[in-house]
Amino acid sequence: MSDSYDVIVIGAGPAGYAAAIRCAQLGLNTACIDKEIGKDGKPTLGGTCLNWGCIPSKALLDASHKYMEATEHFEELGIKTGKVSMDVKKMIARKDEVVAGLTGGIGGLFKGNGVTQLSGHGKLLAGRKVQYTDHNGKASELAAEHVILAPGSVPVNIPPAPLSGTQIVDSTGALDFDSVPKTLGVIGAGVIGLELGSVWARLGSKVVVLEALDEFLPMADKRIARDAKKVLEGQGLDIRLGARVTGAEATGSGVNVTFDDKDGAQKLTVDRLIVAVGRRPYTEGLLAPDCGVNLDERGYLFVNEYCATDAPKVYAVGDVVRGPMLAHKGSEEGVMVAERIAGHKPMVNYDCIPNVIYTHPEIAWVGKTEEQLKADGEEFNVGTFPFAASGRALAANDTTGMVKVIADAKTDRIIGMHVFGPQASEMIAQAVIGMEFDASAEDFGLTMFAHPTLSEAVREAALGVGGNAIHMMNRKKR
Ligand code: FAD
Ligand code: NAD
Contacts 24+ apart (CB under 8 A), 137-144: 140/1, 140/3, 141/3, 142/3, 142/4, 142/5, 142/8, 142/31, 143/3, 143/4, 143/5, 144/4, 144/5, 144/6, 144/7, 144/8, 144/31
- Give yes or no for a contact between 255 and 248, defined as CB atoms under 8 angstroms apart: yes
Q: Is the CB of 440 under 6 A from ligand 1?
A: no
Annotated active-site residue in 135, 344, 360, 451: 451
Contacts of 308 (CB under 8 A, 6+ apart): 314, 315
User: Is the model's pLDDT at 478 over the cut of 70?
Assistant: no
Q: How far apart are CA 373 and CA 405, in angstroms?
A: 13
Pocket test for ligand 1, best of 9, 17, 48 (most atoms within 8 A of CB): 48
273 CA to centre of ligand 2 in angstroms: 15
Whole-structure pTM value: 0.97
Contacts of 66 (CB under 8 A, 6+ apart): none
Residues carrying CATH 3.50.50.60, the chain: 4-155+280-348, 168-277
Ligand positioned closest to the Cα atom of 319: 1
Query: Using CA of residue 189, residue 191, residue 197, residue 203, what is the dihedral sign?
Result: positive
| Ligand 1, atom 38, residue with closest C-alpha | 53
Give residue 476's pLDDT. 59
The yes-or-no answer on residue 344 being catalytic is no
Ligand positioned closest to the Cα atom of 277: 2
State pLDDT tens for residues 188-226.
999 999 999 999 999 999 999 999 999 999 999 999 999
> For 4-155+280-348, which CATH class?
alpha beta
- Give yes or no for a contact between 374 and 221, defined as CB atoms under 8 angstroms apart: no
| Ligand 1, atom 40, residue with closest C-alpha | 54
Q: How far apart are CA 415 and CA 474, in angstroms?
A: 21
Give residue 165's pLDDT. 86
Q: Is the CB of 280 under 6 A from ligand 1?
A: no
Q: How far apart are CA 70 and CA 86, in angstroms?
A: 11
| Chain mean pLDDT for the chain | 97
- In eight-state DSSP terms, residue 77 is G
User: Is the model's pLDDT at 30 over the cut of 70?
Assistant: yes
CATH number for the domain running over 168-277: 3.50.50.60
Lowest-confidence region among 68-82, 284-298, 461-475: 461-475
User: Is the model's pLDDT at 106 over the cut of 60?
Assistant: yes
| Homologous superfamily, domain 352-465 | FAD/NAD-linked reductase, C-terminal dimerisation domain (3.30.390.30)
Q: Is residue 401 left, alpha or beta, with left meaning phi > 0 and alpha meaning psi from -120 to 50?
A: left
| Ligand 1, atom 53, residue with closest C-alpha | 152
What is the crossing angle of helices 424-436 and 456-465, to 10°?
Answer: 50
Contacts of 10 (CB under 8 A, 6+ apart): 16, 32, 33, 34, 122, 124, 130, 147, 148, 149, 150, 151, 286
User: Is the model's pLDDT at 57 over the cut of 60?
Assistant: yes
Mean pLDDT of the region 298-315:
98
Per DSSP, the residues of 204-263 read T-EEEEE-SSSSSSTTS-HHHHHHHHHHHHHTTEEEETT-EEEEEEE-SS-EEEEEEETT
Q: How far apart are CA 332 and CA 281, in angstroms?
A: 18
Give residue 472's pLDDT. 83
| Ligand 1, atom 32, residue with closest C-alpha | 53
Whats the size of the chain, residue-wise? 478
| 3-state DSSP percent of the chain in helix, strand and coil, to 5 | 35, 25, 40
155 CA to centre of ligand 2 in angstroms: 9
Q: Where are the alpha helices (DSSP H) in 114-219?
A: 171-174, 191-202
Would you call 458 helix, strand, or coil by DSSP?
helix
Mean pLDDT of the region 423-439:
98
Q: How far apart are CA 293 and CA 282, in angstroms?
A: 14
Higher pLDDT, 284 or 477: 284
For residue 153, which of 300, 346, 27 has the smallest C-alpha distance?
Answer: 300
Residues carrying CATH 3.30.390.30, the chain: 352-465
User: Is the model's pLDDT at 327 over the cut of 60?
Assistant: yes
Q: Where are the alpha helices (DSSP H) in 306-465?
A: 327-341, 370-375, 391-395, 424-436, 441-445, 456-465
Q: Is the CB of 35 under 6 A from ligand 1?
A: yes
Mean pLDDT of the region 324-337:
98
Could you give the C-alpha distances from 220 to 57, 94, 209, 285, 471, in angstroms and in order?
A: 21, 32, 18, 36, 26
% of the chain residues with pLDDT over 90: 97
Radius of gyration of the chain (CA): 24
Residue 31 parent element (H or E):
strand 30-34
% of the chain residues with pLDDT over 70: 99
User: Is the model's pLDDT at 117 over the cut of 70?
Assistant: yes
18 CA to centre of ligand 1 in angstroms: 12
